[in-house]
């Protein structure tokens, strides 16, 4: 399995749209920054055919200390980013 980086994505834009490396890197940065900004506000970013970026709320709960299984610990409520793939993306990944 290969890993693709932000730099690799920017290079694809350079090749496909005849942009400079700086321009393509700025486009990628703006895109990711805007998705992040919307999640910080609690908004959903829905990209048709790709998926939805959402904020999930985790409730406070009691857990078990992994270093001492007999000890209970309090786990605070938190907000975490989530992603739900669109049907088109799921089908592209596994066309069964």
59 CB-near residues (< 8 Å, 6+ apart): 77
Buried b / exposed e along 45-76 (16+ C-beta atoms within 10 A): beeeeebebbeeeeeeeeeeeeeeeeeeeeee
- The pLDDT of residue 1 is 87
- The pLDDT of residue 52 is 97
pTM across the whole model:
0.80
39-86 confidence digits (pLDDT tens): 999 999 999 999 999 999 999 999 999 999 899 999 999 999 999 999
- The pLDDT of residue 35 is 97
Give the 3-state secondary structure percentages of the chain, helix then strand then coil, rounded to 5: 40, 35, 25
Burial of 18 from C-beta contacts in 10 A (0-12 / 13-18 / 19+): exposed
Q: What percentage of the chain carries pLDDT values higher than 70?
A: 100
76 and 52 within one domain:
yes
For residue 21, the enclosing domain spans 1-43
For position 96, which CATH number holds? 4.10.520.10
80 and 60 within one domain:
yes
């Amino acid at each position: 399995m290969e890993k693709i980086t932000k730099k690799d994505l920017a290079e694809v834009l350079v090749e496909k749209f005849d942009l400079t490396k700086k321009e393509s890197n700025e486009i990628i940065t703006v895109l990711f920054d805007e998705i992040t900004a919307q999640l910080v506000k609690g908004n959903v970013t829905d990209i048709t055919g790709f998926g939805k970026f959402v904020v999930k709320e985790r409730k406070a709960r009691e857990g078990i200390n992994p270093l001492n299984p007999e000890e209970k610990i309090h786990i605070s409520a938190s907000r975490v980013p989530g992603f739900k793939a669109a049907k088109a993306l799921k089908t592209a990944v596994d066309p069964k």
